[in-house]
Structure 1
Amino acid sequence: MNTGLLRPLLRGHTASRCVSRIKHSFSTTPAMEGKPVEKNIREKLAKAFQPVVLEVINESGMHNVPKGSETHFKVVVVSSQFDSQPLIKRHRMVNEVLQNELQNGVHALSIMAKTPSQWEDSEKIIGKSPPCQGGAGL
């Protein structure tokens, strides 16, 4: 994989760490142990979309949930399967793949779904999520 083309700029993360995250994003690593929901999300999205970029970011720590929770995620999926699909359809496609997780503990899912050409034409910045509005009831 040519990671030179896939360097997202995550606020608060160094470029080298971002490249490392991309290189390892399609396989589970020892760091995935103890993170079953994140692992399932990563594996399902990789299998369903064969993405050129896949980021799964656990944002649960930004919310009023117990430490170590896996309830709030942001996913970045860049796939040619999104070509000619409107944004709402792309989001529905991702939601369908993650239906089980969304019905069983994942409270919030932020989705960035782009085509490879959109990704290449973008600034490759994965923005910070808005602050928690509460009401999770967890």
Structure 2
Amino acid sequence: MAVAEQIEHKIRDAVPVAYLSLENESYKHSVPPNSETHFKLVLVSDVFSGMMPVRRHQMLYQLLADELAGPIHALALHTHTVDEWKAQGGQVADSPNCMGGSKNDPQSGQD
């Protein structure tokens, strides 16, 4: 099963979902073609009512611990209640473009 499918199944099994969008953004990064390493998750659920954003993210990090320990390098989380989602017009900002490079690249301007 693909990483994206695993993520979606785990979330749908654990959370009452009003809206879920999972976008594989790996193509925007310096990874091999068809990678599943960078994702953007938009999740709307009233399970988030009364939860601060940090707690919402912690809940999802715990749920997706295996994927985060393995194939996933980055996971952008956008978590909202149904009312919050409606109030912002059902949209989230686009992810920024990758700035390139890796931790193994030499740093310019350093001695």
Name the TM-score class by shorter chain: 0.7 to 0.9
Matched, 1:43 2:6: no
Question: Any unmatched runs of 5+ in structure 2?
Answer: 105-111
Pairing 1:51-70 to 2, within 5 Å after superposition: 51-70=17-36
Q: Stretches of 4+ moved more than 2 A in 1?
A: 133-137
Give per-residue Cα distances to partners, 1:71-105, cap 9 Å, x unaligned: 00000111111000001000111111111000011
Largest Rg, 1 or 2: 2
**Rounded Cα–Cα distance in structure 2 between residues aligned with 1:128 and 1:93:** 23
Q: Note if 1:119 corresponds to 2:104.
A: no
Q: CA deviation at 1:136?
A: 6.8
Taking only the aligned residue pairs, the percentage that are identical comes to: 35
Which of 92, 95, 101 pairs up with 2:67? 101
Once the two structures are superposed, residues 25-75 of structure 1 have per-residue CA deviations (whole angstroms, 9 ceiling, x without a partner) of xxxxxxxxxx61000011111111121000110000000000000000000
Hey, what does 2:47 align to over in structure 1?
Answer: 81
Query: Matched residues in 2 for 1:47 and 1:57: separation?
Result: 19
The whole-number CA distance in structure 2 between the counterparts of 1:83 and 1:126 is 19
TM-score if structure 2 supplies the norm length?
A: 0.87
Q: Which structure has more helix as a fraction of its residues?
A: 1
Contact 1:54–1:78, Cα closer than 8 Å, also in 2: yes
Amino acid of the structure 1 residue aligned with 2:102: G
Whole-angstrom distance in 2 between the partners of 1:76 and 1:126: 8
* Partners of 1:136 and 1:40 in 2: CA distance: 28
**Normalised by the size of structure 1, how large is the TM-score?**
0.70
Maintained 8 Å contact 2:39/2:74: yes
Give 1:123 deviation, angstroms. 1.8
Local SS of the residue matching 2:5:
helix
Report SS of the residue matched to 2:21: strand
Distance of 1:63 and 1:135 partners within structure 2: 10
CA distance in 2, matches of 1:136, 1:83: 38
